[in-house]
A = this chain, B = another copy of it.
Amino acid sequence: MGKKLKVGIIGAGRIGKVHTLSIMNYIPEVEIKAISDIYFDAAKEWAEQNGIPVATADYKEILNDPEIDAVLVCSSTDTHSQISVEAAKAGKHIFCEKPVDLTIPKVEAVIDAAKEAGVKLQIGFNRRFDHNFRKVRELIKDGTLGDIHILKITSRDPEPPSAQYAAASGGMFMDMTIHDFDMARFMMGSEPTEIYVASACLVDPAIGEAGDVDTAIITIRFENGGLCVIDNSRKAVYGYDQRVEAFGSKGKAEISNDTPSTAVWSTAEGVFGEKPKYFFLERYMDSFADEMKQFMAAIINDTETPVVGFDGLQPIKMGLAAKKSVLEGRPVKLSEIV
């Protein structure tokens, strides 16, 4: 093994910490040189705990460090685009958390900047790397299921965010469904053409008052002729519900949720099993590590990243189409979103 790849992490919040640990535990070829956070103490404390040499309040310090090969943009969503553009200009490879931005031009700016600078760009759609979803994708890719006619995605959170957060995040479609939009494209291997949403506010009236919805059934048509339906809820009392069913001309594939154990117990009262793993950190921890491994491998081997800039753009368009469908009460073509 030659010189280690050096990376900087921008943002010491929850996801920045997850990526820190993935790299330290599983990717010996990579060294975290620096971490930044606008709350300097957060960066400093995390750096000390994990032996990261540099902590700073200013991400530009990371961009200006000539030793650093790649950056992970884990800051707040509204800063993703600008930092990523600057990182590209600084010649750093970029792993950018989702969503890249809530507007199309800013996402496109990142894609263009990365292209111009010739740096790798990977978007943080970690669920593509999940063992369950990946298996279904393989069964589609290898032809086991034939042409996909109907794709069903269930995506329900265990708890709604605060109404305040819900509104600020761009709403349910941009904050939560965006993962499902990506999953739909990933599974279908085709591009969406039309979206219709039936949504409601059934979980928390405060979310409705803040102008958002918390429950939705989203129908999507794809270029390949296939149909997709996503059902979302901000609150599944039994826990995080993350499933997909792909139905095609040659068969179907389904996944069930991961559980803390496979135990089933039976008493005079009934038969009992485990609830799903609680939330995304429990359920998707391995997928965070795998996306990181593949990002680093793409840099080391100079190959394409597994989730490119266009994969960051399309879900934004789908989210905008979904919002328009709710507003106008009709199916909306993706071509209307510009």
Contact = CB atoms under 8 A, between A and B. Distances in A.
Interface stretch (A69-77, A131-139, A165-173): A131-139
A202 B225 CA distance: 8
Given A258-B262, A265-B252, A268-B250, A219 B233 contact: no
A251 B266 contact: yes
Contacts of A131: 260-261
Nearest to A148: B202
A150 interface: yes
Nearest to A134: B261
A73 to B, nearest CB: 25
Interface in A114-138: 131-132, 134-136
A238 B255 contact: no
Taking chain A's interface residues, is the majority helix, strand, or loop, or is none over half, making it mixed? mixed
A135 B268 contact: no
27 contacts: A135-B260, A135-B274, A149-B202, A149-B215, A149-B233, A194-B198, A198-B221, A200-B225, A217-B227, A217-B228, A219-B229, A231-B247, A237-B268, A238-B251, A238-B268, A251-B267, A251-B268, A252-B265, A252-B266, A253-B263, A253-B264, A253-B265, A254-B264, A254-B265, A257-B262, A258-B262, A273-B273
